[in-house]
Structure 1
Amino acid sequence: MSMSPRVLINSALILLLALVPFIAEMIDDSFYVGLTTRILILAIAALSLNLLIGYGGMVSFGHAAYIGVGAYMVGIGAFHAFEDGVDWMLNGYVQLFGAIFGSAVIALVIGAISLRTRGVYFIMITMAFSQMLYFTAVGVETYGADDGLSIYSRSDMLGLIDMSNENSLYYLVFFSLLILLYLMHRLVGSQFGNVIRGSKSNEARMRSIGFSPYKYRLVAFVIAGTIAGYAGFLMANLNDFVSPDMMHWTRSGDLIIMIVLGGIGNLFGPLYGAVAFLMLEELLSSIPLTIGGLRVGEYWQLLFGPLLIIIVLYARNGIDSFLPGKDKRS
């Protein structure tokens, strides 16, 4: 059976990502492994937010909070392992459980409250909760407050995965993304996904046929928060550092931009958006041109803004608009 051009393009992207460590070794530059690892981690976080925005119509400006929670589970575990000699807190599986469970519980609480509202009120409540967690992290001096917390040892996965090896970490992130793409594909295509999408289009109709949109949305909210917490776990191990800045509402804005860039409500949209966002950031910030004593690259956001406006105006569904065919899940 022949594959559609869209599937071929998506497969080519996945194949290219699978070869990144080999390409980096060939050109003797490991920088690209770290950069691509960061891209894939943010793609995982954007994928989770796309479930809310793209399929459920729930625009959350507090999604970065779950990334921060997941990251701090790693940072706090490493801190107590070295400061207090609590070795079991360096166990990667303990940290992973804490990241997933903690983000899930917080998502459940935030979702239970915010989902009782709609529109701008929903946006403001999710952002308010995110800022509450942000300022809580800023105020905790034990864990570095606004200076952040350095991680002197990455998660110990008991020999199964060497998190200190950049290639091992990369492939953990890569295969995690593949698994989550598959699970998201199945989820959106299931009855659960149909209810979520149907509630976005016509909530009253979904109620009339016997479904409770609130319960389905709450489950979707918790799923999205849990995946974002896992992304935070990975990000902390990549950066060897956590800080309250990871929870700031502007970080949630970055995830939304990635979704818009890639294509809202499309399975591969968050991945394309994360690749485009991080590569543009890297390229624009590297511009050496100096005007009036100011290096243009330091103000890359001023260049990125107009590009984003052009994409929104002329490519209504982001990069996905340029791909042949149509995403069946859109």
Structure 2
Amino acid sequence: MITYPRLKEGLTIGVTAPSSGVEAELHDLVNLAGRRLTAKGFHIVIGETVWTQEKAKSSSAKKRADEFTNMMDNEEIDILIPPWGGELLIEMLEHINFQHLQDKWVLGYSDISVLLLAITLKTGMATAHGTNLIDLRGESSDPVTSMWQTVLSTPKGEAVLQKSSLKYQKEWQHNNPSPCVFHLTEDTLWKTNGTSQVRMQGRLLGGCIDVIRHLAGTPYGDISSFYNQHIKGESIIWYFENCELSTTDLRRSLVQLKYAGWFEHCSGILFGRSAVNHPVDGYTLEDVYAEIAEELQIPLIYDIDCGHVPPQITFINGAYAVIETSDGKGQVLQQFI
């Protein structure tokens, strides 16, 4: 059984930095995001770790874990949204008492997906892979990003539908601000490893493969125990996004996860768009996808709206999903059951 938190009206957002904090010269980004969200009726509580950054982390692992735990315990805070990702979140996992976490949403991506996946696997509580706080600083949000609140307000037992974007952002243009933060210029096209029409269903799990791969073989990446305790007899859809891995490193990572048993009961894999998809000695990303799909005998959809090439669909770890794509368009139906 999966536990689903639920948002309420007039909610309070807790902002903490379990990975990277924000350098002094970029504090205005946090303040702007806070003002935008406050204007929309949210209350904002910002932790100390958000304002500091040194040696690739916001603070010590213990301080990060303590602030995160305190916000999870705080009855006045309804959801936690970190400012953004980073590099070393994995250090703080050993300092969290997962069995005593209150039921509330944690939303983010990149390095934050280490925490999201660990929470769901350790507790059976759903977590949300999607936008971060900094990307909510715009005057408005694009239709895909803005769905985060609707998705997280879905009552248990009900379903929510999200559709693929019309356009995606190819590159950042920080010197040319956009009302919705992103510059959505390129036509979105969901692709498959076989026929143009694919349908898959199962429980969603995933995140940024660069970092969640390091949970394999640890108490925080115990897929077998999670499966037996919470979703026994069901299938799993994995969603991944690749921030920095070469095609060969991505291949190594997928093989490692296969050897670790992560793809047992897998009914399909989703891959987000990536800006680092460069061939290595002629070995392309499409080669990687074709090989893992053939080995596992499953359908695969790639270049979906997930990860570091925005916008992003909000994927719920633990939710039961039906994913469909046809002629380059896609939709994600998530059931909170």
- Larger strand proportion, structure 1 or 2? 2
- Larger helix proportion, structure 1 or 2? 1
TM range (shorter): under 0.3
TM-score by length of 1: 0.23
TM-score by length of 2: 0.23
